[in-house]
Every structure is written in structure tokens, then in C-alpha cells.
């Protein structure tokens, strides 16, 4: 028996191998499938990424960025991103595994811009292409405009992470051989910040603009004034701020405004100012009481209609000629400070009872006038001045056309120089605006209002003084599922923001009229102490959907994939000084997929 193994071995060695059949051979014309693409953690997700081999190249200690030709905003961005990329040492929550390091370090990012003189403005081209050629020692970013080049620099900064360890001398590493082609889905991607209910110091506004640039957001909608305060100093009408701001320390001077506008532009961010009128103007009454109706009155008198949507009463009187002299001074000064071609005129939540508090208005109504006619008088006296004399496209809230109580007809709002911003009824009002032929900016409260769900803020409210469980079948207030006093409850989670399709229900032609969207932070319960947490990372969720959408290549919503990436992006933002709220316990990103609702 001992010889049997040797006999079997000899048979194996001399026996001819069976010839492969035709069925067992792979077709000669079909090469082996390419390796799966590697993970790249960039937020917002680029529209096209190609990177097949898990090879990273270290950055040289002398790493630099150069541009041809140069541009003032690009010079600032180059200096900023050079410092950021050289100093940031982002450690991914779940680092990539099984990668190799290239021998040739990246010494240079070369920027090429085909048209460096394109001004920042609506619909500016922000596309770019980025490539890191293997073993070349350089990366290339090409763009049509400086603003696209800035977006490319942000992407490159997010490609770098601290994964090389001692092998790279502690230098960051970036994917070698990666190619990215990227452009935004929507040209208008913004944040609205209300600085009237509560004041935000200039440093916090600049801080927010920097965070917006990290997320490729490009519009800062500055809701400057409201019924509660008038914090901007305007040279022709300085008493509006002198009597309407909370204090001398809570005012924005012309130098402050210019600093904010310049800083925003250096990151490719437009600043659109909003002076809300004729409603929400109680703060004007300190300087000009004669042009404001129902000023400084209790907002919700007993057994009478409310004088305002919230505490802080007062509306401009459309029947007082001085109203328009002051309003034109305000608008002229504003245009001198803000170069953007858009100016937001508000026109939301006009309150009929507030106007009726004025005897001249009551007489006008008694003689057959209407509230719609009053608003028409105001719009006709201010909108042409803005559009024709000051050469601005006027943005209004949807109320001016769709408001539940007071509206004007489309003949008063020429479509060529008017844009409407939606905030009620979600996709339904967006549909109504674009179906009427207007361009739209979407800020639906049910998805994009970041102040919602924090409970009520008016005092002396007995509704909270309930010790017993609320009866089922009645509107809930304090118990789980209730509003807690927040008119737009519940809280808008990042997934609610992320999953909003702002083109829902629109035809292709109607969709072309949607410029983009803005998340909004109204500041009744916010100031600089909570600013980062209120905005981030929920505003980042909107940033990705407005840049590259919320669906994968097969048309399926990618919120599951986004969870992992947003956890890591929030981690990087915190490292960059943005105090973004966590979206999950840290255990979740460290155990991918284990915190999902379903597998």
C-alpha cells in the first residue's frame, strides 16, 4: 500500500490534461471586468468620479497652487486653500483599507481658467474638471470661470486626508489617478439668515460664509430687517438704525456690509439683501412713525383680529406719500452697498387688520377700496423704481401672488424682472408659481425651515400648563406628536431636507423656471451662540441635493449612502471649526449599516 501514493502521483504527471471545451473558455472579446470604483468622500457628491485603483499620493511639504491667468477672488481662494490643505489632517471615521502609496508626491495644483473676467452673478458657470495624474507630481483643475475653479479647490481639499502616517512624513495623501467632472444641478443654492429678530456679529456671518463655501453653496440671502429691529445703517436714512436697532453695538455699518460682500465674493458667494416691506416694518416707526400703521401695539388683542403674525406690529402705509420717499431712500442706499443684480423686497404676510388700524386706510376701504388695491398701490410705487431706476431684478415672497388674504395680479409683476420665493404648501405652491410663468426659488417651510420644531416662544402661554395626558382625537400640543407651539413643527431632520425634490410634480418646461433653493433660519430662537448647530449639517444636506441631486445613477434616492458620507463630512467640518450637530451616535459610523431602519 505504501507505493500507491507514488503511483497516483506518476499518473497525474504523465496523464494528458483534458482539453478545455468551448463552453469553459471565456469569450476572447470580453476583457475581465474592471475593479469596482473606490470610495471618495467629497461633499457635495460630485456629478462624475472615476478612480479605479486604490493608490494615494502624498502631498509634498512644499505643496503649492498656481493659476493661469490670475484673478483677485482666485488669489484669495488660492491663499486660503493652500493654508487649509497644508495644515488640515483629517482622519476619516472609517479609513480606507488596502491601499498603496505612490512614490511621487504631489507638489503642485495647476489651475487653468478659460475666462477669468466673468463676474459673479446669477447662472454663472461653476463647472470644473479635476485630475490627479499618476506619478506626475501634479494635479490639474480646469474651469471656465474663477468661480468654478474655487469649487474645484474645495473638492481637492476634501480629497486630502491623514492616511499616510510615517511613510509620508505625516503629510496628507490624495487619490492618485482620480478624475472628476463636476457641475451643479441648480445655479441658486443658498442660506437665508434673519438678522432682525436676533443680531449676529459680523464675525459669525463671515464664519457662516466660510462654511457655505465648504459646502459649495453660492447665495447668502441676508434678511436684514424686520418688525423687531432695523440693524443696518443707511447713509441717507441713518435714523432707521439709530432708532430701530437693538443698540449701537448691534448695527451693521457700511464698512461691515462691504467687508461681508467682499468676503463672500472671494468664495464665489453672492449676497442678496432683503428689506421686507410693506409688512414686517414695525422697526421703521422709531424714525418715521407717521408712515407706519399699528406700530408698537399688542400683536394679538383680545376678541379682535391679530395685528401681526407674531409679536412686533407695524406696516408701511401705502396711502402716505412720505412712505415712498423713505422707501426709495432705503432702496437706493441698499443698491449702493450690494452689487448683486437681485434685491429681495419681501411683501409677505401683509396683515389687513394692521392697515385698518389707520383712519385714512379705513376711509379708503369705506369708499370702495380693497386690501388688494392697497398692496397694488405699494408695489406699483416701489417695484418699477427698483427694476427700472436701480436696474434690479426684484424677488418677492410668494404671498404677493398667492397670499391667502392680500395679493396683486400678474399684470403688476412683470415676469422678466420678478422672481418669486416659495415657502408655503411645499411642491404645490412651487407648481402654482412656475405654472404662472415666474422663476422660482424654493424654500418650502415643510422641508427647508431650519428653525421649526423648537417649540413656541411667546410668553404667558397657558397651553403648556397641562398635567394630564391629552385626549386622543384632538390636536396634540405637549404630548408626543404635538407641535409644542412651533407653527411649522416637527423639526426638519437632515433626511427630511435631503429627500426634498424641489422639482416634484413639475413638467420639464416648468422645471426650467426653478432657479434652485434656500434653507432658511428665522431667528426668533437663534443667535450666534447656536448658529452652527442650527445650520449644520442640515444645510449641508440641502447643499448636496442642490448641487448633484439626491438620487443615484439608477434614479433611487441615496439617503442610505448619504448617511455614511454625511457622518464623515460633519466630522471634517468640526475639524474645520464648524460646530455642526452630530446626526447619530459615533457608534453608528464606526459600525456601517448597523443603525439603519432596514437592511
Q: Please name the residue ranges forming H helices in 294-348.
A: 321-337
Burial 52-63 (b: 16+ CB within 10 A, else e): eebbbbbbbeeb
Name the pairing type of β-strands 179-182 and 48-50.
antiparallel
106: Cα separation from own chain's centroid: 32
Burial 363-398 (b: 16+ CB within 10 A, else e): ebbeeeeebbebbbbbbeebbebbbeebebbbbbbb
**Cα atoms found within 13 Å of the Cα of residue 570, Cβ hemisphere only:** 25
d(Cα 65, Cα 73) in Å, to the nearest integer? 14
Check whether the bond before 38 is cis (ω within 30° of 0).
no
Whether 367 is catalytic is no
Check whether the bond before 583 is cis (ω within 30° of 0).
no
Residue 181 CB burial class (10 angstroms; 0-12, 13-18, ≥19):
middle
- Axis crossing angle, helix 72-87 with helix 146-159, rounded to the nearest 10: 0
User: Grid coordinates in use for 185?
Assistant: 444641478
Q: Please name the residue ranges forming H helices in 410-558.
A: 427-435, 445-448, 494-498, 508-511, 531-535, 538-548
Phi, psi of 328 (to 5 degrees): -70, -35
Query: Is there a contact between 153 and 65 (Cβ–Cβ < 8 Å)?
Result: yes
Give the residue among 514, 545, 348 at the shortest CA–CA distance from 432: 514
d(Cα 543, Cα 451) in Å, to the nearest integer? 17
Q: Which residue has the cell 409644542?
A: 484
Task: Give every CB contact of residue 96 below 8 A, 6+ residues apart in sequence.
Answer: 38, 39, 54, 163
Which residues on adjacent β-strands are paired with residue 419? 395, 439
Catalytic residue among 265, 310, 349, 356: 349
Query: Is there a contact between 448 and 520 (Cβ–Cβ < 8 Å)?
Result: yes
* Catalytic positions, written as ranges: 349
Amino acid at each position: 500500500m505504501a507505493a500507491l501514493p507514488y503511483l497516483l502521483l506518476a499518473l497525474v504527471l504523465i496523464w494528458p490534461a483534458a482539453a478545455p471545451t468551448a463552453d469553459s473558455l471565456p469569450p476572447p472579446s470580453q476583457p475581465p471586468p474592471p475593479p469596482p470604483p473606490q470610495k471618495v468622500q467629497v461633499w457635495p457628491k460630485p456629478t462624475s468620479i472615476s478612480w479605479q485603483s486604490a493608490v494615494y499620493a502624498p502631498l509634498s511639504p512644499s505643496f503649492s497652487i498656481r493659476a493661469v491667468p490670475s484673478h483677485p477672488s482666485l488669489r484669495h481662494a488660492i491663499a486660503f486653500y493652500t493654508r487649509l490643505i497644508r495644515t488640515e489632517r483629517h482622519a476619516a471615521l472609517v479609513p480606507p483599507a488596502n491601499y498603496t502609496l505612490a512614490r511621487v508626491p504631489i507638489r503642485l495644483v495647476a489651475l487653468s481658467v478659460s475666462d477669468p473676467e466673468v463676474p459673479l452673478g446669477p447662472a454663472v458657470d461653476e463647472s470644473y474638471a479635476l485630475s490627479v495624474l499618476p506619478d506626475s507630481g501634479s494635479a490639474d483643475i480646469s474651469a471656465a470661470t474663477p468661480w468654478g475653479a474655487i469649487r474645484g479647490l474645495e473638492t481637492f481639499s476634501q480629497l486630502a486626508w491623514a492616511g499616510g502616517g510615517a511613510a509620508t512624513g505625516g503629510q496628507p495623501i490624495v487619490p492618485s489617478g482620480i478624475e472628476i467632472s463636476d457641475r451643479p444641478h441648480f445655479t441658486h443654492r443658498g442660506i437665508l439668515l434673519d438678522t432682525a429678530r436676533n443680531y449676529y456679529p459680523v464675525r459669525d456671518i463671515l464664519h457662516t460664509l466660510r462654511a457655505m463655501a465648504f459646502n459649495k453653496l453660492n447665495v447668502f440671502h441676508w434678511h436684514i430687517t424686520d418688525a423687531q429691529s432695523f440693524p443696518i445703517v443707511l447713509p441717507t436714512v441713518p435714523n432707521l438704525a439709530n432708532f430701530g436697532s437693538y443698540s449701537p453695538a448691534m448695527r451693521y455699518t457700511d464698512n461691515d456690509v462691504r467687508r461681508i460682500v467682499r468676503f463672500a465674493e472671494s468664495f464665489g458667494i453672492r449676497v442678496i439683501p432683503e428689506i421686507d416691506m410693506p409688512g414686517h416694518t414695525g422697526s421703521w416707526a422709531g424714525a418715521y412713525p407717521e408712515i407706519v400703521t399699528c406700530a408698537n401695539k399688542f400683536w394679538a388683542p383680545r376678541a379682535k383680529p391679530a395685528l401681526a403674525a407674531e409679536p412686533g406690529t407695524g406696516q408701511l402705509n401705502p396711502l402716505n406719500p412720505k412712505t415712498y420717499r423713505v422707501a426709495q431712500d432705503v432702496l437706493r442706499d441698499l443698491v449702493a452697498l450690494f452689487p448683486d443684480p437681485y434685491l429681495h423686497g419681501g411683501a409677505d404676510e401683509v396683515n389687513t387688520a394692521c392697515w385698518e388700524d389707520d383712519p385714512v386706510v379705513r376711509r379708503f376701504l369705506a369708499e370702495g377700496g380693497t386690501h388688494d388695491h392697497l398692496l397694488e398701490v405699494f408695489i406699483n410705487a416701489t417695484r418699477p423704481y427698483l427694476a427700472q431706476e436701480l436696474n434690479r431684478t426684484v424677488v418677492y415672497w410668494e404671498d404677493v401672488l398667492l397670499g391667502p388674504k392680500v395679493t396683486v395680479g400678474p399684470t403688476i409683476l412683470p415676469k422678466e424682472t420678478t422672481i418669486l420665493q416659495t415657502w408655503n404648501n411645499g411642491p404645490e405652491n412651487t407648481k402654482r408659481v412656475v405654472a404662472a410663468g415666474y422663476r422660482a426659488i424654493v424654500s418650502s417651510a415643510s422641508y427647508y425651515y431650519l428653525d421649526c420644531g423648537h417649540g413656541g416662544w411667546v410668553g404667558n402661554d397657558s397651553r403648556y400648563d397641562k398635567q394630564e395626558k391629552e385626549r386622543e382625537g384632538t390636536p396634540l400640543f405637549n404630548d408626543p406628536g404635538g407641535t409644542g407651539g412651533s407653527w411649522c413643527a416637527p423639526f426638519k431632520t437632515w433626511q427630511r431636507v435631503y429627500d426634498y425634490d424641489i422639482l416634484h410634480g413639475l413638467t420639464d418646461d416648468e422645471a426650467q423656471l426653478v432657479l434652485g433653493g434656500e434653507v432658511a433660519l428665522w431667528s426668533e430662537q437663534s443667535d450666534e451662540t447656536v448658529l452652527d448647530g442650527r445650520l449644520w449639517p442640515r444645510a449641508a444636506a440641502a447643499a448636496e441635493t442642490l448641487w448633484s441631486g439626491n438620487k443615484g445613477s439608477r434614479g433611487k434616492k441615496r439617503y442610505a449612502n448619504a448617511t455614511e458620507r454625511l457622518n464623515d463630512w460633519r466630522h471634517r467640518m468640526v475639524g474645520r471649526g464648524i460646530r455642526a450637530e452630530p446626526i447619530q451616535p459615533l457608534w453608528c459610523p464606526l459600525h456601517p449599516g448597523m443603525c439603519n431602519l432596514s437592511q
